[in-house]
Amino acid sequence: MKVVGINGSSRADGNTFILINKVFEELKKEGIGTEMIQLFDKNISPCTGCGSCSCESCIVNTDDFKGIFDKMVEADGIILGSPVYSADVSARMKALLERAGYIVAMNPNLLRHKVGASVAAVRRGGGMAAVDAMNHFFLNKEIFVIGSTYWNMVYGKDIGEVLNDAEGMQNMKNLGQNMSYLLKKLYLND
Ligand SMILES: Cc1cc2nc3c(=O)[nH]c(=O)nc-3n(C[C@H](O)[C@H](O)[C@H](O)COP(=O)(O)O)c2cc1C
């Protein structure tokens, strides 16, 4: 079993990275494989709306989208993580979801019945909108969405500040436990 975590931040190894890793910690305890993909150094153009994605991929092959989308398709679980930018997900995350969303709309089998979790790092406002935006992607793609004891946002501005949000970090830990619970039920009949 494998879970891929996608960090939509423009900062390497920042707060969103810390949150995804907190969820990963719990998955690893259960023997679930993990892989982090950080978008800060990736080039993903927005969807052109050409409508040619019936071929299970995207005909725009001049950027980093295909490699990342292939890993989403291969994984059993997907964590989408974004910092809150302008009360929403980052533009990097948005571009990925536009492209992936259109392909999967035409090829629904690609992500069906995977397990998904969304997390957001936020200084103060817009966390709910960002988490909702990522969950909308999952819900529209027949991906089972994992919840926790609170909505999946953690407060912090500078790198590392999210660690001071004890309730938020505890929520990430619980999220990881819930994700591994469902993955094992689905794939190991545990
Ligand atoms: C372009 C930009 C826009 C931002 N917009 C918001 C915002 O609307 N609301 C908010 O609470 N924080 C906002 N922030 C702060 C980040 O969400 C916060 O610093 C977060 O912890 C960054 O996570 P990262 O370290 O993973 O990049 C913004 C930061 C940037 C760079």
The predicted pLDDT at position 190 comes to: 61
Nearest CA to ligand 1 atom 4: 85
* Residue ID of nearest Cα to ligand 1 atom 21: 157
Contact 14, 75 (CB under 8 A): no
Burial of 77 (0-12, 13-18, 19+ CB in 10 A): buried
Pick the CATH number of 2-187 from 3.40.50.1370, 3.30.60.50, 3.40.1170.10, 3.40.50.360: 3.40.50.360
Task: Tell me the per-residue pLDDT of 23-77, one tens digit each, with 9 for 90 and over.
Answer: 999 999 999 999 999 999 999 999 999 988 877 778 888 999 999 999 999 999 9
Ligand 1, CB cutoff 6 Å, lining residues? 9, 11, 14-16, 83-87, 121-126, 156-157, 159
Reported pTM: 0.97
